[in-house]
Amino acid sequence: MTDTPPPTDSPWFEPVEPAEPVEPPAQPKKNRTNAIIIGAAAAVIAAVVATGIVVVQTSDHDDSKPASTTTSSTPDTEATEAAADTEPTYITLDADSFSIELKTKSRQCFGSAGCNVTVEPELGLEVDSASVDPDAVYEITYEIRGDESGPVIQTAELSNQTSLNYRPSVISTASSSTKVTVKITDVSAQGV
């Protein structure tokens, strides 16, 4: 028998190529990103500390100058009189100091039987608000006409020059065409 190499076109035979030498995996390069971040953070901290030192030294230097002051052994009567003159004066508010209108919040009509109407006052100040005593509470009494059983009298409170407290009024009109009107009848100051 002769040794013959197997045919290369045989379905059972696959040629094997010589193996390449296997190289060990390369060592990963050390990441320098952490070193860069730490270095940048250190530089920022150093800059902040240096700026703080400069600011503190500058403010200490500015405070070292004494402010020029003058003292007198006698009381300054002109300053005392001027202080008494600058004490604020406030006007006395009355019904003419305000304007008032009614804002309809709801209306429910029942044909010829009339309507139930809920109204709220809308007050306007007709004087300069700086002339109103901020510590006083003003009671503003107003009269609503148009209710089928007669006038409805309500009171609102004005405090802090702009804060208005009131209760909505529910009235019954004789018909849907009844005109509802309002008028301020009294203003009184509390806490003056």
Number of Cβ atoms within 10 Å of the Cβ of 102: 18
- Main-chain phi, psi angles of 92, to 5 degrees: -90, 125
Classify 189 as helix, strand or coil. Answer: strand
Query: What is the number of structural domains in the chain?
Result: 1
pLDDT of residue 129: 82
Whether residue 11 has pLDDT greater than 70: no
- Total-model pTM: 0.54
Q: Tell me, yes or no, whether 171 lies in a domain.
A: yes
Identify whether 144 is part of a domain: yes
Model pLDDT, residue 84: 54
Assess whether pLDDT exceeds 90 at residue 45: no
pLDDT at 145: 95
- The confidence score (pLDDT) of residue 16 equals 54
The answer to whether position 113 is within a domain reads: yes
Q: For residue 126, tell me if it sits in a domain.
A: yes
- Lowest mean pLDDT, pick from 12-26, 110-124, 131-145, 155-169: 12-26
Higher local confidence (pLDDT), 125 or 3: 125
Q: Is residue 102 part of a domain?
A: yes
In the chain, the percentage of residues whose pLDDT exceeds 70 is: 64
Q: Which pLDDT score, from 0 to 100, does residue 183 have?
A: 96
What domain range includes position 135?
A: 95-190
Distances from the Cα of 133 to the Cα of 96, 127, 141, 190, 191, angstroms: 17, 12, 19, 11, 10
Q: Is 84 domain-assigned?
A: no
Average pLDDT, the chain: 76
Q: Is the pLDDT of residue 123 over 60?
A: yes
Q: Which residue has the higher pLDDT, 54 or 140?
A: 140
Kindly state whether residue 27 falls inside one of the protein's structural domains: no
Residue 13 has pLDDT above 90, yes or no: no
